[in-house]
């Protein structure tokens, strides 16, 4: 399942570049005003724009990690104020995306200490820290969604995941509808994995869904 990041801002159209960058790194991004936070499935982490917004997040979930991403209008005392409100980290301008990404991953590691950095399924190894995938030691280059699909299947490699489950958990679709998104990504993922000379992988169970291997 892709890691869900909620950007809770009064004006959700303001950080389109950030949303695209996070999605490119395999995160599922949800945009929401603070008033609508309760209407979305619990995220793994929340990004807010000011210290007071931390209280709104804590009011509906006391444990969800919160990072305050300040803008140029922030004041010198806002960092201290943010930590007093209980944020997990504070990112002050100027900063680049790579710094924010590193801080997001660090907070997620601290908030999920039991989650293994290395996921192994047979000859497939997935390093969550570096997003590196290998098959019998041979590296495989995957797109963000191919990686997220593989990671989901690898959580229970012989189980059949239904198409509805995968579209919901990897792509965030609420209904299956008429889409070939899953099938096309599964096909590309299969080709890349079996190109290592191993497999078969990403088994299609016709009319039901997929499992990683027999």
**pLDDT one-digit tens code per residue, 46-77:** 998 888 888 888 777 778 889 998 887 777 78
The whole-number pLDDT of residue 106 equals 82
User: Going from the N-terminus, what domains does the chain have, and what CATH number goes with each?
Assistant: 4-111 (3.40.50.2300), 118-211 (1.10.10.10)
The whole-number pLDDT of residue 204 equals 95
Q: Which contacts of 199-206 are long-range, i.e. CB under 8 A and separated by 24 or more positions? A: 201/124, 202/153, 205/160
**Mean local confidence (pLDDT), 79-104:** 85
Q: How far apart are CA 1 and CA 165, in angstroms?
A: 10
The whole-number pLDDT of residue 13 equals 43
SS3 call for 211 = strand
**pLDDT one-digit tens code per residue, 153-210:** 998 888 888 888 888 778 877 655 667 889 999 999 999 999 999 989 999 999 889 9
Tokens 């801002």, residue located: 9
Q: Can you state the angle between helices 16-24 and 97-111, rounded to 10 degrees?
A: 60
pTM equals 0.52
DSSP 44-77: SEEEESSTHHHHHHHHH-SSS-EEEE--TT--TT
The neighbouring-strand residues paired with 28 are: 4
Taking alpha carbons only, the member of 15, 36, 43 closest to residue 172 is 43
């Amino acid at each position: 399942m892709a890691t869900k990041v909620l950007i809770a801002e009064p004006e959700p159209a303001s950080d389109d570049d950030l949303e695209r960058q996070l999605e490119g790194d395999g995160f599922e991004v949800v945009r929401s005003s603070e008033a609508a936070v309760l209407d979305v499935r619990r995220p793994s982490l929340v990004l807010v724009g000011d210290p007071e917004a931390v209280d709104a997040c804590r009011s509906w979930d006391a444990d969800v990690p919160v990072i305050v991403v300040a803008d140029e209008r922030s004041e010198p005392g806002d960092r201290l104020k943010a930590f007093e409100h209980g944020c997990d980290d504070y990112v002050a301008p100027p900063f680049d995306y790579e710094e924010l990404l590193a801080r997001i991953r660090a907070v997620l590691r601290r908030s999920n200490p039991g989650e293994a950095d290395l996921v192994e399924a047979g000859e497939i190894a997935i390093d969550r820290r570096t997003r590196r995938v290998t098959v019998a030691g041979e590296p495989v280059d995957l797109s963000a969604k191919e990686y997220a699909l593989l990671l989901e299947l690898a959580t229970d490699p012989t189980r059949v995941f239904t198409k509805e489950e995968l579209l919901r958990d990897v792509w965030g679709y609420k209904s299956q509808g008429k889409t070939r998104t899953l099938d096309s990504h599964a096909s590309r993922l299969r080709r890349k994995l079996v190109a290592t000379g191993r497999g078969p992988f990403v088994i299609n169970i016709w009319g039901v869904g997929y499992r990683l291997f027999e």
